[in-house]
């Protein structure tokens, strides 16, 4: 039995992931491909509770970097085993708002947690699983954060210092350059151009996997 495909949209705050996902779903509809959407952290009842813990800025104690990392992967494990893998086995495609690349960028690049530590946890939880295609919306931190602030209240991670996001951005670019399954799109372009680039990438992927 053929399997579905896992497409992930990645990018920093303000990169335009939500609107890009709408382009992806519309394009899959045009190709008559059945799909479902997920988000990380989150995507299952338990994983959504973990998302609330991770993102809340109201904790009365410091959330350690290690706790943040483990919560991210705990949430990802729940989503992978309970939603993503069953959907793919059922020949549905899955569109993910963030996946493992986010942890490598935010906890690895931003928090400076060593790659070996993250890789060991990823091996336990993901067991080598990875997206078939990742669309990375690349945007300079100052532009993205300005957009994010204009949206309203920021969560715990979005309230980090600017240097944190510079490290996240650098790590994202490094990861994207090393992975042939990642398509990088300049998210500082006009929304029309970004959406055009996203559609082109998804159209090409759909044609190649029919």
Residue 70 CA to residue 54 CA, distance in Å, equals: 10
Q: Using one digit for the tens of pLDDT, what is the confidence trace for 161-180? A: 999 999 999 999 999 999 99
pLDDT of residue 1 exceeding 70: no
pLDDT digits (tens, 9 = 90+) for 34-50: 999 999 999 999 999 99
Sheet containing 6-11: give its strands across.
Answer: 35-39, 93-97, 6-11, 133-138, 182-186
Identify whether the C-beta of residue 99 lies closer than 8 Å to the C-beta of residue 11.
Answer: no
Q: Where are the domains of the chain?
A: 6-208
> Which fold, 6-208?
Rossmann fold (3.40.50)
């Amino acid at each position: 039995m053929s399997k579905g495909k896992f497409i992930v949209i990645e990018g920093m705050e303000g990169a335009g992931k939500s609107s890009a996902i709408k382009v992806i779903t519309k394009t899959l509809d045009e190709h008559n491909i059945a799909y479902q959407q997920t988000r990380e952290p989150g995507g299952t009842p338990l994983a959504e509770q973990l998302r609330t813990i991770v993102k809340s800025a109201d904790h009365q104690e410091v959330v350690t970097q290690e706790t943040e990392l483990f919560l991210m992967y705990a949430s990802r494990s729940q989503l992978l085993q309970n939603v993503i893998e069953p959907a793919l086995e059922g020949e549905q495609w899955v569109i993910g708002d963030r996946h493992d690349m986010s942890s490598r960028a935010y906890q690895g690049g931003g928090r400076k947690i060593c790659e070996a530590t993250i890789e060991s946890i990823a091996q336990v939880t993901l067991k080598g699983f990875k997206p078939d295609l990742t669309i990375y919306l690349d945007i300079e931190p100052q532009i993205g954060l300005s957009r994010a602030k204009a949206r309203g209240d920021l969560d715990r991670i979005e309230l980090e210092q600017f240097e944190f996001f510079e490290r996240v951005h650098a790590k994202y670019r490094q990861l994207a350059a090393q992975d042939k399954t990642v398509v990088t799109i300049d998210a500082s372009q006009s929304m029309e151009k970004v959406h055009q680039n996203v559609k082109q990438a998804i159209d090409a992927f759909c044609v190649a996997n029919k």
